[in-house]
């Protein structure tokens, strides 16, 4: 439940707090439905109960994430357990409508109800309790994680991430990389048990395992979805291969070919990101035409002394320029913008749609960087989606599919062109030259193209774990096999099954499915292409900003308002005219850079 609330995942059964007593919701579980209850009446009751229950779950989750203690673990686990009990009871009751001829809305609501948890729990009460506690603890362990060096100097994750982003000292990078991964081995046994329990829960809901259940959330069969994701990856893989080749060569120049062998995978700690997932922080090494065009938003944020709130205001203004509403007053008083000094919190950014989307919040530990500004735009994309679908019934309060939720804010960041940044005073001026275009494309590609194989493999690892193809004694090996195969990276120090490197990535202990981000990275370019047409943009896609376009904003918002009330193919068609996800937009977008990369890579032997 919590994951819907927080990250507004595929089925954002929005949370809101109200007066539903514990009694009401639990009683519902054991009630045999009155034979007179029609399917439509059942759905209406499910919506009403969900609305009430979500209030409690949302409050417990928020407090847990912004105040990690043993006490909040008990509160959050209890709320999660209560939701799980309600959910499995309702799914059982819904079985009576199987095979009945129902109207589309009712059928869809019942189907969505069945998928309405990312953490399916066994019906057995003791196991349900055990799973709720394990899931709560795993995320808490991640949130409270830190690494203390030999001098007993400790760093938390944001601090270690700073080292990875900014240091160019091989050994210092190795220590930060390895140090953060010390948080994960204690998760290993708990994770193994979590896998057993969620699989039992998924099987009680009629799925082979949790991976199959996750793949079932895309308005097509799990097998079709797996194929679809594979098709999209094949479409974009050539872009990644060119980027990898060039980045490896440049890193070889900086660190030496002994450290970065030119025919093998890249050491994972040299790419500017703790998980090697987005590489924008090594732009200084990769800048094609040094000094051409000022893209240094970081220094503007510092010299103009932007506060976290001002950074959020800047993002809000973009959405408002599209004709979308201002964020509610409570957003400003209830959000967590900065890391509290006196307690452990989950710093990983998230957006919350509490009280049925009336109580919008973000939870971040904002730093004064351009990267963080873009994360704020990303999170507000979630909030605007949550606000837009708040008038849908609770079972339809979610995104068309989980990738849509992740793509909204990212689509908006594609409009943060040099011209836009200059217009709002975040860079001095927008240079127009061909060299400036390539520089900016490089900066974008280091994040957007580098991310693609990472976005794809995280769930592939989990699909393997849930299906049993990757056994517990091979968790780490399976992880690194995939990291190397997909991303062409390797760990900088030897790893073994005493490690549990997947646990050092938020979405694994937090149980958030990840294919959504892979899909979002493709969809956002597709959305942008259509929005730019609507906005009347002329010229290449990369130079388009929809800032200030009410026409584009209206069409965008209309898609958001429909939530998950219809299959995603319908939502996509309304905005883009096509019913298929398609990578040609991202390929077109980066066409200029591909020309540059191919030239640079001439004579090199690429691949690993």
User: Is 405 annotated as catalytic?
Assistant: no
133 binds, among ligand X8Z, Zn ion, none (CB under 5 to 8 A by kind): none
**381 or 488: CB nearest ligand X8Z:** 381
Is 37 in a helix, a strand, or coil? coil
Check residue 138 for interaction with ligand X8Z (CB under 6 A). no
Phi-psi region for residue 356, left (φ > 0), alpha (ψ -120 to 50) or beta? left
Whether 507 is catalytic: yes
For ligand X8Z, give the closer residue by CB, 200 or 406.
406
Q: Is 348 a catalytic residue?
A: yes
What is the C-alpha separation between 266 and 488, in angstroms, rounded? Answer: 6
Picking from 597, 438, 441, 565, the residue whose alpha carbon sits closest to that of residue 112 is: 565
Nearer to Zn ion, 8 or 575 (CB): 8
d(C-alpha 249, C-alpha 270), whole Å: 12
Q: Which is nearer to Zn ion, 200 or 406 (CB)?
A: 406
What is the closest distance, in whole angstroms, from the C-beta atom of residue 7 to ligand X8Z in the complex?
5
Residue 406 appears among annotated catalytic residues: yes
Q: Report the partner that residue 350 touches, choosing among Zn ion, ligand X8Z, none (CB closer than 5 to 8 A by kind).
A: ligand X8Z
Q: What phi and psi values does residue 266 have, to the nearest 5 degrees?
A: -85, 135
Cβ-closest position to ligand X8Z: 349
Coil vs helix vs strand at 344: coil
Tell me the H-state helices in 389-433.
Answer: 402-414, 418-423
Choose between 243 and 327: whose C-beta lies nearer to Zn ion: 327
Q: Give Dmax (Cα) for the chain.
A: 75
Report which DSSP code applies to 326.
P
Pick one of 375, 421, 470, 532: the residue that binds ligand X8Z (CB under 6 A).
375
Q: Which of 406, 450, 506, 547 is catalytic?
A: 406
From ligand X8Z, Zn ion, none, interface partner of 240 (C-beta below 5 to 8 A by class): none
379 is annotated as an active-site residue = yes
Q: Identify which of residues 81 and 316 has a Cβ nearer to ligand X8Z in the complex.
A: 316
Among 47, 72, 350, 524, binds ligand X8Z (CB under 6 A): 350
Where is 3: in which H helix or E strand? helix 2-7
Instruction: Spell out the residues 6+ positions from residue 599 whose beta carbon is closer than 8 angstroms to its own.
Output: none
Q: How many CB atoms lie within 10 A of CB 136?
A: 25
| Contact assessment for residue 336 and residue 346, using Cβ atoms and an 8 Å cutoff | no
Handedness of CA 312, 522, 448, 406 (dihedral sign): positive
Judged by beta carbon, residue 140 or residue 455, the one nearer ligand X8Z is 455
Binding mask 248-287 for ligand X8Z (x = CB under 6 A): -----------------------------x----------
Residue 508 CB, nearest approach to ligand X8Z (Å): 10
Is 349 a residue of the active site?
A: yes
Active-site residue identified among 268, 349, 431, 585: 349
Catalytic residue among 51, 200, 379, 460: 379
Cβ proximity to Zn ion, 470 vs 520, nearer residue = 520
Binding partner selected for residue 411 from ligand X8Z, Zn ion, none, CB under the kind-specific 5 to 8 Å limit: none
For residue 292, count other CB atoms closer than 10 A to its CB. Answer: 17
Q: Residue 452 binds which one of Zn ion, ligand X8Z, none, with CB within 5 to 8 A depending on kind?
A: none
For Zn ion, the binding residues (CB under 5 A) are 406
* b/e code 43-53 from CB counts within 10 Å (16+ = b): bbbbbebbbbb
What is d(CA 319, CA 327) in angstroms, rounded to the nearest whole number? 10
The site map against ligand X8Z for 377-406 (x = CB under 6 A) is -x----------------------------
- Least Cβ distance, residue 564 to ligand X8Z (angstroms): 17
Q: How far is the CB of 156 from ligand X8Z (least distance, A)?
A: 16
Distance, first Cα to last Cα, the chain: 41
The residue among 78 and 407 lying less far from Zn ion, judged by its C-beta, is 407
With respect to ligand X8Z, which residue has the nearer C-beta, 6 or 555?
6
* Cβ-proximal residues to 459 (8 Å cutoff; 6+ apart), any chain: 211, 214, 513, 514, 515
Active site residue 382: yes
Residue 517, interface with ligand X8Z (CB under 6 A)?
A: yes
Question: 72 contacts which partner out of ligand X8Z, Zn ion, none, CB within 5 to 8 A by kind?
Answer: none
Closest contact distance (angstroms) between CB of 442 and Zn ion is 24
Residue 311 engages ligand X8Z in binding (rule: CB under 6 A): no
Residue 352 Cβ, how far from Zn ion at the closest point, in Å? 11
- Beta strands 489-490 and 266-267 are parallel
Q: How far is the CB of 451 from ligand X8Z (least distance, A)?
A: 7
SS (H, E, C) 170-221: HHHHHHHHHHHHHHCHHHHHHHHHHHHHHHHHHHHCCCCCHHHHHHCCCCCC
The answer to whether the CB of 447 falls within 8 A of the CB of 521 is no
Among the listed residues 87, 244, 246, 378, the single catalytic one is: 378
Unique residue bearing structure tokens 């509403």: 325
Phi, psi at residue 480, to the nearest 5°?
-75, -30
- Under rule CB under 6 A, residue 489 binds ligand X8Z: no
Smallest gap from residue 378 Cβ to Zn ion (A): 6
Determine the 3-state secondary structure of 152 from DSSP: coil
Can residue 7 be called a binding residue for ligand X8Z (CB under 6 A)?
yes
| DSSP-derived 3-state class of residue 490 | strand
Out of 87, 244, 246, 382, pick the active-site residue: 382
Q: Which of 243, 349, 421, 586 binds ligand X8Z (CB under 6 A)?
A: 349
Residues 6+ apart with CB under 8 A from 151: none
CB of 455 to Zn ion, least distance (A): 12
- Continuous segment of H or E residues that includes residue 146: strand 146-148
Residues with a known catalytic role: 348-349, 378-379, 382, 406, 507, 517
Interaction site with ligand X8Z (CB under 6 A): 7, 277, 349-350, 375, 378, 517
């Amino acid at each position: 439940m919590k994951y819907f609330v927080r990250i507004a995942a595929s089925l954002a059964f929005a949370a809101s707090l109200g007066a539903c007593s514990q009694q009401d919701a639990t009683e519902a579980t054991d009630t045999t439905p009155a034979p007179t209850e029609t399917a439509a009446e059942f759905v209406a009751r499910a919506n009403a109960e969900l609305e009430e229950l979500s209030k409690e779950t949302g409050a417990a989750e928020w407090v847990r994430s912004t105040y990690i203690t043993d006490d909040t673990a008990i509160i959050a686990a209890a709320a999660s357990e209560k939701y799980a009990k309600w959910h499995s009871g309702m799914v059982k009751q819904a079985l009576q409508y199987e095979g009945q001829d129902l109207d589309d809305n009712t059928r869809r609501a019942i189907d969505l109800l069945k998928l309405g948890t990312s953490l399916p729990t066994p019906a057995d009460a003791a196991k349900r309790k055990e799973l709720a506690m394990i899931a709560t603890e795993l995320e808490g362990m991640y949130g409270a994680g830190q690494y203390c060096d030999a001098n007993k100097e400790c760093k938390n994750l944001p601090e270690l991430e700073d080292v990875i982003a900014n240091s160019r000292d091989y050994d210092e990078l190795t220590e930060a990389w390895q140090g953060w991964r010390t948080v994960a081995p204690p998760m290993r046994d708990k994770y193994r048990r979590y896998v057993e329990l969620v699989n039992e829960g998924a099987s009680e809901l009629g799925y082979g395992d949790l991976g199959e259940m996750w793949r079932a959330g895309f308005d097509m069969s799990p097998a079709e979805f797996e194929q679809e994701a594979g098709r999209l990856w094949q479409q974009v893989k050539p872009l990644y291969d060119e980027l990898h080749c060039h980045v490896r060569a440049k890193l070889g120049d900086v660190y030496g070919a002994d450290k970065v062998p030119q025919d093998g995978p890249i050491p994972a700690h040299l790419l500017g990101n703790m998980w090697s997932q987005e590489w924008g922080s090594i732009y200084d090494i990769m800048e094609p035409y040094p000094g051409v065009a000022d893209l240094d938003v970081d220094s503007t944020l510092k010299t103009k002394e932007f506060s976290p709130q001002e950074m959020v205001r800047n993002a809000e203004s973009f959405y408002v320029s599209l004709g979308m509403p201002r964020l509610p007053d409570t957003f400003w008083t209830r959000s967590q913008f900065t890391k509290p000094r006196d307690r452990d919190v989950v710093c990983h950014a998230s957006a919350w749609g509490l009280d049925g989307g009336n109580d919008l919040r973000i939870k971040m530990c904002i730093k004064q960087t351009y990267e963080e500004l873009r994360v704020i735009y990303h999170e507000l994309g979630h909030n605007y989606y949550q606000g837009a679908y708040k008038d849908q019934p609770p079972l339809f309060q979610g995104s068309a599919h989980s990738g849509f939720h992740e793509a909204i804010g990212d689509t908006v960041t594609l409009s943060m062109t040099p011209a836009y940044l200059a217009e709002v005073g975040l860079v001095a001026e927008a240079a127009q030259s061909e060299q400036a275009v390539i520089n900016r494309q490089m900066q974008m590609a280091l994040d957007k193209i580098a991310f693609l194989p990472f976005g794809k493999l995280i769930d592939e690892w989990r699909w393997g774990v849930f299906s049993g193809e990757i056994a517990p004694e091979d968790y780490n090996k399976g992880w690194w096999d995939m990291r190397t195969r997909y991303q062409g990276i390797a760990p900088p120090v030897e790893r073994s099954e005493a490690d549990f490197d997947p646990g050092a990535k938020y979405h694994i202990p937090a149980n958030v499915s990840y294919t959504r981000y892979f899909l979002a990275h493709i969809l956002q370019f597709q959305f942008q292409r259509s929005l730019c047409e609507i906005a009347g943009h002329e010229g290449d896609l990369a130079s388009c900003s929809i800032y200030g376009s009410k026409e584009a904003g209206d069409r965008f918002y209309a898609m958001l308002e429909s939530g998950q009330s219809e299959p995603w193919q319908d939502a996509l068609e309304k905005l883009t005219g096509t019913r298929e996800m398609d990578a040609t937009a991202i390929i077109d977008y980066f066409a200029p850079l591909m020309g540059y990369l191919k030239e640079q890579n001439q004579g090199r032997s690429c691949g690993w």
